[in-house]
Amino acid sequence: MVFRLCWRRAGDRQNMIIRQLNIKNFGKIHDKTLEFSPGINVLYGENESGKTTVHTFIKSMFFGLARMRGKAARNDAYSTYEPWENPGLYGGTIWFTGKGCRYRLSRNFQKDHASCELLNEDTKELADIDAVGLEKILGNVSEAVYDNTVSVAQLKSVTGQDLVRELQNYMAAYQGAGDSSIDLGRAMQMLKMSRKGYQVQTDRKQKETEQEQQKLQAQMDYVVNELNELKGKLDQIDEKEDSLGMRPGAENGAVLLDERLAEARSKRNRYAAGMLTSAVAGIVGLVLSAVMADKIAVSLIVAVAAAVTVGFCGKQQMKYAREFQKRIRMKSRWMSRQEKLKWSRESLRQDYDEKETALRNIQEEYREYEENSYLPASEDLEVQALNIAMETIEMLSGNIHHQVGRKLRIRTSQILSEITGGKYQDVLMDPDFHMTVNTGDRTVSLERLSRGTMEQIYFSLRMAAGELLCREESFPVILDDVFGMYDEERLAAVLRWMQKENKQIIISTCHKREMEILEREGIPYQKLILS
């Protein structure tokens, strides 16, 4: 079934009317029915009789009753008004007229069986609240607008200075945003705090990046120094290899050693052969001297010459044998040094290659930090978004102040003039939100006004805001003990103004003078008693 709204002609502004309440179980009230008239209604009862409970019930029926979590749930509205007996019947029904149709709205606030049912009594159709939206039926009046316009309580402050500040805050909020619940100044403050938080993160990350870059730079410098030291050691090895004839292109040391070793071996062998030959010749000479007696002299000479030659050759052979052993030891030492230098070179080259790889890695990491420094971080993007939001709020604030604030001030001044008999003609506010009122002859600051007059300004402000923000439909005005500081003259003037405005008014009071003045002024009203 499609739920059909009842529409009125464009420009035909009507009043929303609360027709009846049936409070099944809500706070201290049980099975209570209250019927309201379209005009002024006086809800009378002693203190603690349940007047505020009725007001909370009306609000909860229209906007729901949210339950807080944790410790906050102990003192929230849900817990405050949750009945001890029959909690399953926590709720009730409200009948009202809106958008040209009659509706019946029923709710059960019980947490395990929460429900909401809206019936169009003219079409007999049930509404899908999620699809249609109750706020739309209520003339797009949100809970915030309701709390800050048509639902009026007494000013909270008791001292003069605090009262002035409270009234100025209300006016500034309305004038700045069209809703006292929307504090643009606080919104800007929160955005600035968020921006500061992101800026702190950005600065911290930037500092960490700089520190990391400095660390990497120090590592690069250290590795470069190590590479230079290794390069110096490799150069020293080159020099040693040059001195030993181990490098290609130079006179090869191994070849020279082999040549000298071969030379010493050749000389050793040659003298060894000479010594052997001389010995054989000496032996032959001795043999001949024994056989040939006539030639003994020649044989002796030969023998002596052979002996001399053997001695010489033996001496030379020993010399070159020692030279040969020396050359062997030199070659062994040369080869040992060669192996040692080769191992050192390989070890140094390996270290050098590793250091070069480490340096390239560090340099690459450093370049990444440098490249990333030119890219906006997520925190930078958040700061940019917050700056845009702040600029937007400033722009919107200016537009709202121009569009709404002026209208609000003018209408507030008109209402104040009417309910004060023209005594106070204009409400003014400077750029610093200092409020004054114009009497026609002079301008008076709030600090010099009585509490009763400031209550009148407050009432005028709330009524003007209600008219501006409840544009589609005039919402019922609910006044909760707001006339306590009014004298009879002020109260009579306000009651006459409310009758003239032709709105539904629900006045809760613990005093009878409201009804007495209404009767004296001949203003019709509906009386409802709570006991």
Residue 390 predicted with pLDDT over 70:
no
Total structural domains within the chain: 1
Say if residues 32 and 68 touch (Cβ distance below 8 Å): no
Q: For residue 177, what pLDDT is reported? A: 45
Do the domain assignments include residue 107? yes
CA separation for the pair 528, 506 (Å, rounded): 10
**Residue 406 resides in a domain:** no
Residue 156 banded pLDDT, cuts 50, 70, 90: low
- Looking at residue 299, what is its pLDDT? 62
- Report yes or no on 313 lying in a domain: no
Q: Which residue has the higher pLDDT, 176 or 92?
A: 92
**Percent of the chain whose pLDDT exceeds 90:** 20
Residue range 300-329, pLDDT digits in tens: 676 666 666 767 766 776 776 777 777 777
Q: Are 523 and 496 in contact (CB under 8 A)?
A: yes
State whether residue 28 is helix, strand or coil: coil
Q: 80 in a domain, yes or no?
A: yes
| More confident position, 449 or 393 | 449
Please indicate, yes or no, if residue 481 is contained in any of the structural domains.
yes
Write down the pLDDT at residue 11.
Answer: 43
| Domain of 28, in residue numbers | 1-141+470-531
| Cα–Cα separations (whole angstroms), residue 516 to 146, 498, 504 | 29, 16, 19
For residue 7, what is the DSSP state?
Answer: -
Find the CATH number of the domain harbouring 477.
3.40.50.300
Highest mean pLDDT among 171-185, 234-248, 439-453: 439-453
CA distance 64 to 53: 14
Query: Mean per-residue pLDDT for 65-72?
Result: 76
Q: Does a structural domain hold residue 385?
A: no
524 phi and psi angles, rounded to 5 deg = -65, 145
Residue 62 lies in a domain: yes
Please name the helix (run of DSSP H) or strand (run of DSSP E) that holds residue 192, with its range, or none.
Answer: helix 184-243
Q: Does 49 reside within a domain?
A: yes
CB 348 within 8 A of CB 237: yes
Check: CB of residue 497 under 8 Å from CB of residue 479.
Answer: no
